[in-house]
């Protein structure tokens, strides 16, 4: 036994070291948050135990009144935060307090710049948690005994927050965790129970668990522990009794965010289902928002008892930036993730809260367009997953989308579909868009020429998700979406009969030449025809209606899927001077060279790359040499 009580030393995972260093250096102006983090961990530990005890009441033993206790010892220079919650086993201590068990952590740290101001914002997004103890402490001791584990199987963890931590077996009479902070000289102001009490009432007043502090006699001796928070879960109170500040502080505690939320919505739903929801939209994106496996931020409670974090069934994935909680009166207390998955009650809660969030956003867009724009810039890309994921709310989600467009002439996505429709000329019946690799590639794609000439607005899409979005969004307010690089260009009533007839004549007149191009290019193209998309470019390629679009093919290739090669329709502008010279060539070999060059150019403008760029360069140089007769003038 004696041997196991010897301390073992372990190194922190590299990322922990980085996090610690960064935290100490960038959060010095916001030191007091350590208490919020540690008290909220202690309260989570109580919640977890209460939940586990639902199926195994023996776990509570004779220590069923759960609490968090905070005290300070001026002589020793320490602050202690204790709870009689779930505690941790040795293995749990090793992983929870020695590593950062979040996927993508290394990636996150590679983004840090070394600029402390910038990095401190990032660190806020990351969520500091337990390690924030080191903002005020130069050494931290954690003594913990997991529920259901014998007193002599408790563990002590100790670290100075540098490269390593010590672990040893100890004996601990009470279940739960004590965290003892040995406070650094520059944070001694916190070794003061009056000060600590102020911080607790600021951050933790609404926790449903009592947070207790010592009552002391004149000699400073503890006489009893007394709760210093109101102990009433915030969301159970009447909306009218809760101040904005209380809502904001509560958000910071549950979301581990440093900043105020952008907005929130607190609802009591009554009727066939009874539940309360308190949902927040953060101002900033968490660092791992783009990861679809990222945990969801909704906590589930049943009759005020905490059941689980990250209840994915309560919020669709495209709203995974929403934080908050739902408290059901109808679900059984012993509900499991499996039960949640296929459950009438959860479905109703999910659908109700989804509607709530969407209407909250619509209202923001209407009342405070600038704030909405800020929201869109932060979370828009995630919301774009919505139309594919949630058919029932497609129209509502679509109304929240924002795009760059030819109307605005800048890359920022500010145009709503309603604004687009509002500007549509009466004869226009479709919503035109283009998807490309970048805003510039979209803006300068030759297929837009005819639209510019006719003054028809085109939405310019260039995010990775956009092709996916547009493949699920087929219409909005009964107007179909139409890609300008796809299929036959049907401008509908935007063209009058005379223009249509003129176009037909042009196509007929070009038939023979189109065939000549087609013979020269062989199976490199699907077909060749005269275009009516172009005004200043000689040629472009477009995708046939039934083929996979360029962007979709790229998306699938990037995902490692085998994609059949798309053959394009090659459209030529017979009125372009270069085309007129090419068709005048009599030598068929030369004609073929030029035809290939025009196709390569058009492919470059649409796809951004060629299969064999060296061949293109060789051909271009050969033709230039011929044109210049080997001499530039
Ligand atoms: N008082 C405690 N009792 C029991 N377990 C704890 C306690 N404090 C921390 N832990 C465990 O350590 C883990 C890591 O804590 P930490 O605060 O770093 O992260 P987190 O709470 O999971 O995430 P975040 O704070 O970023 O939301 C917790 O998830 C929990 O399992």
HEC secondary structure over 89-121: CHHHHHHHCCCCCCCCHHHHHHCCCCCHHHHHH
357-361, long-range: CB < 8 A, 24+ apart: 357/265, 357/279, 357/281, 357/315, 357/319, 357/322, 358/393, 358/396, 358/397, 358/400, 359/396, 360/263, 360/265, 360/279, 360/281, 361/281, 361/400
Pick the residue whose CA is nearest to atom 13 on ligand 1.
Answer: 96
Ligand 1 geometric centre to CA of 41 (Å): 5
pLDDT of residue 127: 63
457 touches ligand 1 (CB under 6 Å): no
Ligand 1 nearest atom to the CA of residue 48, by list position: 4
Pick the residue whose CA is nearest to atom 1 on ligand 1.
Answer: 42
Give the start-to-end residue ranges of the domains of the chain.
8-227, 234-366, 369-493, 495-628
Listed in sequence order, the residues at least 6 apart from 630 whose beta carbon sits closer than 8 Å to its beta carbon are none
41 touches ligand 1 (CB under 6 Å): yes
Distance CA 273, CA 254 (A): 25
574 touches ligand 1 (CB under 6 Å): no
Ligand 1 geometric centre to CA of 44 (Å): 8
Q: Which residue has the tokens 């209606």?
A: 545
- Is residue 140 within 8 Å of 133, Cβ to Cβ? yes
Ligand 1 geometric centre to CA of 128 (Å): 10
Ligand 1 nearest atom to the CA of residue 100, by list position: 18
Identify the three-state secondary structure at position 617.
helix
Residue among 15, 35, 41, 149 to mutate when testing ligand 1 (max atoms within 8 A of CB): 41
Ligand 1 geometric centre to CA of 176 (Å): 13
pLDDT of residue 1: 43
Residue among 40, 130, 154 to mutate when testing ligand 1 (max atoms within 8 A of CB): 130
Distance CA 292, CA 320 (A): 8
Characterize the bridge pairing of strands 404-405 and 459-461: antiparallel
Note the CATH number of domain 495-628: 1.20.120.790
Pick the residue whose CA is nearest to atom 2 on ligand 1.
Answer: 42
Listed in sequence order, the residues at least 6 apart from 559 whose beta carbon sits closer than 8 Å to its beta carbon are none
Ligand 1 nearest atom to the CA of residue 176, by list position: 3
85 touches ligand 1 (CB under 6 Å): yes
Distance CA 50, CA 305 (A): 8
Pick the residue whose CA is nearest to atom 25 on ligand 1.
Answer: 129
pLDDT of residue 2: 44
Query: 213, 191, 215: which is closest to 204 by C-alpha?
Result: 213
Residues with pLDDT less than 70, the chain: 1-4, 28, 101-104, 112-113, 116-128, 287-296, 492, 630, 633
Distance CA 47, CA 39 (A): 12
Positions at the binding site: 37, 41, 83, 88, 96, 102-104, 125-130, 177, 337
Distance CA 237, CA 206 (A): 10
H or E segment at 79? Answer: strand 78-83
Of 3.40.50.11540, 3.30.565.10, 3.50.50.60, 2.102.10.10, the CATH number of 8-227 is: 3.30.565.10
The conformation of residue 85, written as its DSSP 8-state character, comes to S
88 touches ligand 1 (CB under 6 Å): yes
What tokens does 108 get? 């996150």
pLDDT of residue 24: 78
Residue among 23, 50, 59, 129 to mutate when testing ligand 1 (max atoms within 8 A of CB): 129
288 touches ligand 1 (CB under 6 Å): no
Ligand 1 geometric centre to CA of 285 (Å): 21
CATH architecture of the domain 369-493 equals: 3-Layer(aba) Sandwich (3.40)
Distance CA 48, CA 83 (A): 12
Ligand 1 geometric centre to CA of 260 (Å): 22
Note the CATH number of domain 234-366: 3.30.230.80
Positions at the binding site for ATP: 37, 41, 83, 88, 96, 102-104, 125-130, 177, 337
Distance CA 547, CA 556 (A): 14
pLDDT of residue 496: 73
Ligand 1 nearest atom to the CA of residue 128, by list position: 26
Residue among 39, 40, 44, 143 to mutate when testing ligand 1 (max atoms within 8 A of CB): 44
pLDDT, mean over the chain:
88
- Is residue 372 within 8 Å of 364, Cβ to Cβ? yes
- Is residue 289 within 8 Å of 245, Cβ to Cβ? no
Q: Do domains 234-366 and 369-493 have the same CATH topology?
A: no
132 touches ligand 1 (CB under 6 Å): no
Distance CA 185, CA 105 (A): 31
401 touches ligand 1 (CB under 6 Å): no
């Amino acid at each position: 036994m004696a041997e196991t009580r010897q301390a073992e030393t372990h190194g922190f995972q590299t990322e922990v070291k980085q996090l610690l260093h960064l935290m100490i250096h960038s959060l010095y102006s916001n030191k007091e948050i350590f208490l919020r983090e540690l008290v909220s961990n202690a309260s989570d530990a109580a919640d977890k135990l209460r939940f586990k005890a639902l199926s195994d009441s023996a776990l509570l033993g004779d220590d069923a009144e759960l609490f968090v206790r905070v005290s300070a010892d001026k002589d020793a220079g320490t602050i202690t935060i204790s709870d009689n919650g779930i505690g941790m086993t040795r293995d749990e201590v090793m992983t929870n307090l020695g590593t950062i068990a979040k996927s993508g952590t290394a990636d996150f740290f590679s983004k840090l710049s070394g600029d402390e101001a910038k990095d401190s914002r990032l660190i806020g997004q990351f969520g500091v948690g337990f390690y924030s103890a080191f903002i005020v402490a130069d050494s931290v001791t954690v003594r913990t005994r997991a529920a259901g584990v014998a007193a002599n199987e408790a563990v002590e963890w100790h670290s100075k927050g540098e490269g390593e931590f010590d672990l040893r077996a100890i004996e601990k009479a009470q279940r739960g965790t004590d965290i003892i902070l040995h406070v650094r000289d520059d944070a001694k102001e916190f070794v003061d129970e009056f000060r600590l009490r102020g911080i607790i009432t600021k951050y933790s007043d609404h926790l449903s668990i009592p947070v207790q502090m010592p009552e002391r006699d004149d000699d400073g001796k503890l006489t009893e522990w007394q709760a210093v928070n109101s102990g009433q879960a915030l969301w159970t109170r009447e909306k009218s009794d809760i101040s904005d500040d209380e809502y904001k502080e509560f958000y910071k505690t549950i979301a581990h965010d440093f900043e105020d939320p952008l907005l929130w919505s607190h609802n009591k739903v009554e009727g066939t289902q009874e539940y309360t929801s308190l949902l927040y939209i953060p101002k900033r994106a968490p660092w791992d928002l783009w990861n679809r496996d990222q945990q969801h931020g909704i906590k589930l409670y049943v009759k005020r008892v905490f059941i689980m974090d990250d209840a994915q069934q309560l919020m669709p994935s495209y709203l995974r930036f929403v934080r908050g909680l739902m408290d059901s009166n109808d679900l059984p207390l012993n509900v499991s993730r499996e039960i949640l998955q296929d459950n009438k009650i959860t479905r109703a809660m999910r659908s109700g809260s989804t509607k709530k969030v969407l209407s909250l956003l619509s209202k923001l867009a209407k009342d405070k367009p600038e704030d909405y724009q800020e929201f869109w810039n932060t979370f828009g890309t995630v919301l774009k997953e919505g139309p594919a994921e949630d058919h029932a709310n497609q129209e509502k989600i679509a109304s929240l989308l924002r795009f760059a467009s030819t109307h605005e002439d800048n890359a920022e996505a500010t145009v709503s579909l309603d604004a687009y429709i509002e500007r549509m000329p009466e004869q226009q019946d479709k919503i035109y868009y283009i998807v490309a690799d970048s805003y510039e590639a979209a803006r300068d794609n030759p297929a837009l020429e005819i639209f510019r000439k006719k003054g028809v607005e085109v939405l310019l899409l260039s995010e990775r998700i956009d092709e996916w979005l547009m493949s699920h969004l087929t219409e909005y307010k009964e107007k179909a979406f139409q890609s300008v690089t796809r299929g036959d260009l049907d401008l509908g009533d935007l063209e009058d009969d005379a223009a249509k007839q003129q176009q037909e004549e042009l196509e007929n007149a070009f038939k023979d030449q189109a065939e000549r191009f087609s013979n020269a290019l062989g199976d490199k193209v699907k077909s060749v025809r005269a275009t009516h998309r172009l005004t200043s470019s000689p040629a472009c390629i477009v995708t046939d209606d039934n083929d996979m679009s360029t962007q979709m093919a790229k998306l699938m290739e990037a995902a490692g899927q085998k994609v059949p090669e798309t053959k394009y329709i090659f459209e030529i502008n017979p009125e372009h001077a270069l085309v007129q010279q090419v068709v005048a060539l009599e030598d068929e070999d030369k004609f073929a060279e030029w035809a290939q060059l025009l196709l390569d150019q058009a492919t470059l403008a649409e796809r951004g790359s060629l299969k064999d760029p060296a061949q293109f360069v060789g051909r271009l140089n050969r033709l230039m040499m011929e044109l210049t007769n080997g001499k530039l003038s």
